[in-house]
Amino acid sequence: MSISHDSRYAYAVGRIRVLETRLLDMSKLGRMVEAKSADEALRILGETEYADLVSRAAGPQDYAAVTAGEITRVYSLMKKLLPDEALVDLFLIKYDIHNMKVALKAQFQGQNFEHLFIDAGLVPAKLMPYVCQQEKLQGVPPEYYAFASAAALAYEESKDPKVIDLVLDRMQYSHTAAMAEKHGYAFLARFLASQADLANIRSLVRTKRLGRGRDYLAGNLLPGGTVPQAVLLEALTEEWTAIIARFSSSPYQAVVEQGINALLESRGLTMLEKLSDGFLAELSRSVRFQAFGPEPVLNYILAKENEVRNIRIVMLGKLNGVPNEEIRERLREGYA
């Protein structure tokens, strides 16, 4: 007779349902793609939820500020809506890790990369250099200090700044997955596992294409996926057809098969990337109709992140005069 604690999300889900109707659909994005100029594309964006931010933008070249403003607005709105802020915090870890990469590289290369900070994380971006120098600050998750020192250590050994990215990417995945597990967000944990799997599959394909060895792939693999790392490493020495066969009974069958076929037809890795994003969108869409629980909220945040990504693709394409067809091909399908 217990009242499921999921009804705690009843208010948030109601509000999300309305917000979902305001997401940019493909027809709106299509209009932006068809726009004659970047100015016009921005004007079309101004007819949507983005009106306020667009009116404050100086021009189309300011699109990054518009999208950054929107995503910060969404995160802070979600924090207000949800009974537990921890859910939103999980989405903010990636910004902290990004800022940590920037801060560490700046520290080691003695340059100022402050303009690369994205101030959307849990820790204010300007504090990140202090975290990297192991200065104990209030409100900084204790794990971050361990991440920073592990990345610094790896850099000291190899003197290759790319190692910082690899080490921190791995930490980000395992930390986010551990937090999702700890707070009992079963769906998010599943989503993250699929995300890791797909990233690993992409690494496998890229490594094989570049003709690099096991060690290179092993350095790029992310933890937390359902496909064992040994399987991925073994697949590296196989033919493309054998790799496709290997995944034939996994949920990633279509992604792997179509992605590799596109690659073999010399259409590059874009298709594989698009397919894996599509897989994640589909996974997220599958739970959006639940009336209770955090899933619809998760789907909305993911949908918003995807929308912002699409807007960036369109605006960047428009500003650089990329043909409409090419922009369209790069767009990711929506979550709503």
Among 230, 289, 321, 325, binds another protein (CB under 8 A): 289
DSSP string, 271-330: HHHHHHHHHHHHHHHTTTT-SSSSHHHHHHHHHHHHHHHHHHHHHHHHHTT--HHHHHHH
Q: How far is the CB of 333 from another protein (least distance, A)?
A: 19
The answer to whether 201 touches 276, Cβ cutoff 8 Å, is: yes
Taken in order 178, 179, 182, 186, the sign of the CA dihedral is: negative
Token code pair at residue 202: 């992409």
Binders of another protein among 7-26, rule CB under 8 A? 7, 10-21
Assess 27 for contact with another protein (CB under 8 A). Answer: no
Assess 303 for contact with another protein (CB under 8 A). Answer: no
Distance CA 334, CA 277 (A): 10
DSSP string, 64-109: HHHHHHHHHHHHHHHHHHSS-THHHHHHHHHHHHHHHHHHHHHHHH
Q: How many residues bind another protein (CB under 8 A)?
A: 19
- Only one of the segments 6-14, 39-47, 148-156, 272-280 lies at the binding site for another protein (rule: CB under 8 A); that segment is 6-14
Smallest CA-to-CA distance from 154 within 144, 143, 165, 145 is with 165
Q: How far is the CB of 75 from another protein (least distance, A)?
A: 17
Among 108, 216, 240, 292, binds another protein (CB under 8 A): 292
Smallest CA-to-CA distance from 295 within 189, 188, 194, 190 is with 188
Binders of another protein among 53-112, rule CB under 8 A? 81
Assess 138 for contact with another protein (CB under 8 A). Answer: no
Nearer to another protein, 261 or 290 (CB): 290
Q: How far is the CB of 130 from another protein (least distance, A)?
A: 39
Nearer to another protein, 15 or 31 (CB): 15
Among 76, 291, 329, 333, binds another protein (CB under 8 A): 291
- Only one of the segments 5-13, 24-32, 93-101, 176-184 lies at the binding site for another protein (rule: CB under 8 A); that segment is 5-13
| Site of interaction with another protein (CB under 8 A) | 1, 3, 7, 10-21, 81, 289, 291-292
